[in-house]
Structures are given as C-alpha cells and as structure tokens.
Structure 1
Amino acid sequence: MIFVILHQATVSLAQRRFKVNFMPYSSVSAGAGTSTYFGDLAGYSLPIKTLTTLPRWNVGVGYTRQMTPHFAIGTTFTWVRIVGDDYTYSKNDPTRFEAQYVRNLHFRNDIKEVAVKGIYNFVEDGRNPNFRAAFTPYLFAGLAFVVHNPEARTPTTTNGNNGNFEAREWVKLQLLHTEGQGNAGYDKPYSLVTLAIPVGLGMRYRLNQKLNVGFEVGFRLTLTNYLDDVAGTYPKQDVLTGLSPIMSDRRFEYDAARANTNRYTAAQQILQNNPALFTTENRGSNGLHKDGYLLTNLSVHYIIPAQIKCPPFLRR
C-alpha cells in the first residue's frame, strides 16, 4: 500500500512538473479548401443538397500560439468565395422547388474574414515543440470580422432592351437597394461589414520537427441576412430606378443569367399551375434565418523555432 501511494505521488509530482515546464510555442500556416453558402437561396433544411450544389473555394493564412498542452489561441485571415443560384438549385426538380425556380435570383460574394479562435486539443502536447503530439484532434470556436459585397449578373440579351447595362455583367447589389433600402418606409441599406461566429473541428498530423499538416471543417454563422442580398419583400417598383428594379425582381426573365440558360418552358408551366408565385411580395425568408457558410481547409503549419537561451556564463 505504501509503495502504491508513493508511486502515485511520484507520478502526480512528475505531471505537475511537466505542466509547469511546458514551453509555449507558435506556428504559422497557409491553406485552401472549399466553401458552401447557406441562406435564402440554399436552405439549411436540405444540408446535403446545399453542400453539393454550388461549392466554391477559400484560401487563408494563420498564426497560432500554443499556450498550454491542451489550449491554443489562433488568428486567421481567409478569403472566401460563396455562390447561390435559384435556377441551379431547382433546375432538376422545378415542381418541388417551384418558388425558387420562379424567383430566379443568384449572387456571388467574395468574403474577407479575420477570425480569432480558441482551440482545445484533445491530445496533450509535449513539453516543447519537439515533443508535440503526433496526431491531434481539436475543437475551435471564436469570433470573426467579415467584410463582404454581393454581386449578380445583369440579364442576358434575350430579355430585350439592355441599353442601360451590358448583358451578363457582374454588378454590386448593395448599391442598387434591391429591397427598397434607404427609401421612405423601408429599412436602411445593409452594412457590408458584419460579425460571424466560427465553430468547428479539425485534426493535425506531425510531419517532422518543423511541420504539421492539418484539416478542419468549420461553420460560420453571421449576423446578417444579406450575404446573398435577399432577406425581405419585393419593394414597390416605383421606388426603384435605373438597374435596381431589373435586379430586384427577376421572375419574368426568360433566362437564368448566371447559368446563361433558358428557363422559359418550365416557368410557363409553373405560371399556369401556381400564378401566385409571380405576384407574391415575399422575396426572402423575412429574417427567419441568418446567412452562413461552411469551410473546409487543408493546411500546412510551420513551427517557429523557440528562442535559444544562452548559458549564464555567456551572458557576461
């Protein structure tokens, strides 16, 4: 019994000494992966369909400080492209997704994200970078600062008089106030800066003393409904001028402008069966769900060498 107690005390003392002697270290990383948008044009209710319809890309760099054997703090800059398109989402089953097929909206958005995240490692790191774990699964959560600016293509030449714009040209949507923003009786224009909450999980694998490779999956829930420029209702057309009414209500366009594909036949069939979709005031979900995006990222991490401490007799 005495031997067991002494053994446990020795182990406990060694563990405390190990933790006290842990040497924090830093790493820098670069990576790339996929991005998928969730919002009014690609709903949360069908996640598999949303994830597989219009995935795009992200690239980023990061800095991480390993504070304890289990806990790290990281900051990242990520450039994210997301895309949504009613036609592409609904074209294979216009009857099931007839509201989206009729609405005929689309967008793309290049997001610039700066995030600060807390990271919890499930596997304890060694006392210094040279003894870090060979394989580390982890969770993360944090806060992100997001800058965005949604765009869409103007109509194709099939749609008649294009004297005020070039056909299928990408234009910024926030300035067009497509839901009447800024006019009397409507909301103010939405901000192109917002916050997001990143949460996710990942794993790192140690290649050698200087390099790790990592893979993570993370979701960003933003505080805006306008990553896609769609949230509320169609405005009265007399409050919009120039290109704004054209980009606001695209239900009567013969073509899907982003895909550059004719949709007239299926739209006419829906018009006969459900004409109310062509007159409804509902454009989006009226703020029911905030927009978000999911990122995957494959990255390489370089371990920054610790500062070499000189022996006392060399400091004279």
Structure 2
Amino acid sequence: MMKLMQKLWILVWCTMISITTTYGQTIGLHPVSQTSASLSSYPVYGMYAHQSLDQESAKALLNKPFRPHFSIGISTGFMHYKGDVYSKLKVGPGLSYGASLYLHFTPWLKARASVAIGSISGNDSESADLDQQAQNLNFRNRIQELSLLAEWDFFPWLPEKPSKFAAFIFTGFTFFKHNPQSFNAFSVTYLNLRNLHTEGQVPSNYSLTSTAIPIGIGGRYRFAKRWTVSLQAGIRFTLTDYIDDVGKGAYPSADALPNALSIQYANRSMESRPGLDQLIASRGVVTYTDSDGSVYTTLKGFEPGTSRGRVAGNDRYFLFQLTISTYFGKIPRLLPN
C-alpha cells in the first residue's frame, strides 16, 4: 500500500507540473503579433477567441501578466478514519474546523498552507463482523494538522469571461499531532492509551506526532466578486499505524504490561457486553498462566502472541471540508478563483 501510495503521489505531482508548465506558456510568453487563429489552438482560450474576442483583444489577453497574490479561507467539515478498529461514517462526532492561506502563482497553480483540527473514532461493538466484535476495542483521537499543499485547477479562469465554477486536485505534505484515548467506564473519563503500553512497548513507545501524504479533489464556486465557496475531499495516508493505538505488534502476555489497567485495555475480548456468550460459544476461549502464577482467559484468536493489528498497512484518515475564501488587497488582473 505504501509503495502504491508513493507512486500515485509522484504521478500526481509530475502531472501537475507538466500540465501547468505547458499551459503556463500561453500567458505572457507569446509575442504581441500572435493572431487569434493561433490562439484558437488552445482549447480554453480558443473558445473565447471565437465567441467574443477580436484579434486585438486576443493579443492583449495573451500578453496580460499574471500577478501572484494571496487569499485566505476558513473551513468546517468532518474527519473519518480507516484502520484496525471499526469506524462508522458519521458526520457529527468528527466535526472539524480550520483555516488556509493561498498563494496563487498562475491561473492553474497555487500553494496552500492549511491548519485543521478534528476528531476521529472507532468502536468494534458497532460492527456487524463477528471478528471485529470479538476484538472489542474502541478509541477516539483528536487530530491537529498542518498541511503544505500544491493545488492545481483543471482550467484557468479568464478575466474577460470569468467562470463561476472550477475543479481542482491537490497533494503535498501533512504534519499532525494526535493522542488516542479510550473511555473508562469506572471513572467516567478518557484514558490516554499510549501511556498504557497496550502492545507491551516498554520502554519504547510510538510517537504522538507523525506525517502523512494528502491527496484530494474538490470544486469551487464564485458567488461574489471577491468570494468563493469550495467543497473538497482528501485522504491522508499516514506514516504511523497507531492513531487507533493498534499497530503491528502482538497481544502481549500480562507480565509484559506495567499495571492492571494496561492488562485490561490491551485485550478487551472478554469484557462483559451483550453478545459475549454467543462469541464464547462460537469461538471458544483460551486460558493461560502468567509467569507470576496468575490465570487469564481470553477469546480464542486473541491470546498472547497473536497479531493485534488486523488491517495491513498504516492507518488513514479522510478530511471533508466546506471552505469560504476571499482575496485581500487589490483584485488580481487574472482571477483563478
């Protein structure tokens, strides 16, 4: 999965650069003597040249420079997670908000720096899959991310015939902070799962900061002279497998864990809940004795040494956003959005 993701990311970058370079030559790089006939060889410009631009206005358009400029936006939306714990797509609990600063280089290409804060969660008890129900893990995680992105519009927006709609793709790098937690019914609080070393990661442990490769698509609509609204959907291919506290490790034996709370949250297959009797009848149980003589019972398939992570590859999360953005300062001569 990681190799495929990296190839896709490189392909998107190369496509954006090559197409932007090719079409970017149509603005400000042609001699004034170029005719509207040659202009029509470009699909977007040619359409306007035949419909509404005479030869002189076409020449002026070709030589009109693009002034790089800034715009800002605020966003709201929701996050969704895919990993080792079952997650149902729900809008409410994962609401996110954020802000973006755009630097428009050309009518096609812009750089974007974005911050976003949102929540993800997972709960095996909500799954219809019996193996997932038997695992019986749950978590929540607050994601705080900073993304540095390149955003490419499929078509430029011309000042003489400004389009109100546009579609775009984006990719780049994301840096994020997270902290997986689980609910403690006894104290009615949430516990930081990393502190419990649930896979026996003693003394080493996973980091609460990581990076991701974002890839996404979107569309925007200009509803006023300076204002646009956009919808976008992106996936973050993270470089960690622990945003749900479940990684590539195995279920540890009790003596590999630091305390009783860690033992309780490392393996929750025998936790009292509706349907446990049916799971015991269908799967069976395994009883083992720890080094200190303590006896433990677990559902079959969750005994020490079996894999704790049940999905190959690192975790992923999705970010769906509605953004309102505006220019500040002088309106540019060519408006990409």
Task: Give your verdict on TM over 0.5.
Answer: yes
What is the letter of the counterpart of residue 254 of structure 1?
Answer: S
Q: Which residue of structure 2 lines up, in the alignment, with residue 238 of structure 1?
A: 255
Matching of residue 35 in structure 1 with residue 79 in structure 2: yes
Provide the identity percentage. Answer: 28
For residues 278 and 318 of structure 2, what CA distance do their matches in structure 1 show? 31
Q: Secondary structure at the match of 2:133?
A: helix
- Per mean C-alpha deviation after superposition, the further-off stretch among 15-24 and 230-239 is 15-24
For residues 15 and 284 of structure 1, what CA distance do their matches in structure 2 show? 66
Equivalent residues of 2:66, 2:107 under 8 A apart: yes
For residues 57 and 269 of structure 1, what CA distance do their matches in structure 2 show? 39
How far did residue 122 of structure 1 move? 1.0
How far did residue 71 of structure 1 move? 0.5
Matching of residue 106 in structure 1 with residue 138 in structure 2: yes
What is the letter of the counterpart of residue 62 of structure 1?
Answer: S
Give the structure, 1 or 2, with the largest relative contact order (CA under 8 Å, sep 6 or more).
1
Q: Counterparts in 2 of 1:147-296, with a 5 A limit?
A: 147-154=177-184, 156=185, 166=187, 168-183=188-203, 188-231=204-247, 232-242=249-259, 243-255=261-273, 262-272=274-284, 276-279=300-303, 281-285=305-309, 288-296=312-320
What is the letter of the counterpart of residue 74 of structure 1?
Answer: R
Where in structure 1 are there 5+ consecutive unaligned residues? Answer: 43-48, 158-165, 256-261, 309-316
Equivalent residues of 2:285, 2:300 under 8 A apart: no
What is the letter of the counterpart of residue 264 of structure 1?
Answer: L
Q: Which residue of structure 1 lines up, in the alignment, with residue 103 of structure 2?
A: 65
How far did residue 213 of structure 1 move? 0.5
Q: Structure 2 length as normaliser, TM-score?
A: 0.72
Q: Secondary structure at the match of 2:156?
A: coil
How far did residue 276 of structure 1 move? 2.3
Q: CA distance change for structure 1 residues 307 and 52 in 2, over 3 Å: closer, same or farther?
A: closer
How far did residue 285 of structure 1 move? 3.1
Q: CA distance change for structure 1 residues 34 and 53 in 2, over 3 Å: closer, same or farther?
A: closer
What is the letter of the counterpart of residue 178 of structure 1?
Answer: T
Q: Secondary structure at the match of 2:301?
A: helix
Matching of residue 142 in structure 1 with residue 172 in structure 2: yes
Instruction: Identify which of 47, 55, 67 aligns with 1:23.
Output: 67
Equivalent residues of 2:82, 2:315 under 8 A apart: yes
Q: Which residue of structure 2 lines up, in the alignment, with residue 162 of structure 1?
A: none
What is the letter of the counterpart of residue 125 of structure 1?
Answer: W
Q: Which residue of structure 1 lines up, in the alignment, with residue 18 of structure 2?
A: none
How far did residue 286 of structure 1 move? 7.1
Q: CA distance change for structure 1 residues 279 and 11 in 2, over 3 Å: closer, same or farther?
A: closer
Equivalent residues of 1:219, 1:293 under 8 A apart: yes
How far did residue 288 of structure 1 move? 2.6
How far did residue 252 of structure 1 move? 1.1
Equivalent residues of 1:54, 1:83 under 8 A apart: no
Equivalent residues of 2:210, 2:238 under 8 A apart: yes
For residues 162 and 309 of structure 2, what CA distance do their matches in structure 1 show? 48
Q: Secondary structure at the match of 1:126?
A: coil
Q: CA distance change for structure 1 residues 126 and 113 in 2, over 3 Å: closer, same or farther?
A: same
Q: Secondary structure at the match of 1:64?
A: strand
For residues 53 and 205 of structure 1, what CA distance do their matches in structure 2 show? 23
The root-mean-square deviation of aligned C-alpha atoms, in Å, is 2.9
What is the letter of the counterpart of residue 34 of structure 1?
Answer: F
Where in structure 2 are there 5+ consecutive unaligned residues? Answer: 1-33, 42-55, 287-298, 333-337
Deviations 1:140-194 (A, max 9, x none): 001001111100012x45xxxxxxxx2x4201011111111124xxxx2001110
What is the letter of the counterpart of residue 252 of structure 1?
Answer: M
How far did residue 18 of structure 1 move? 3.5
For residues 315 and 156 of structure 2, what CA distance do their matches in structure 1 show? 36
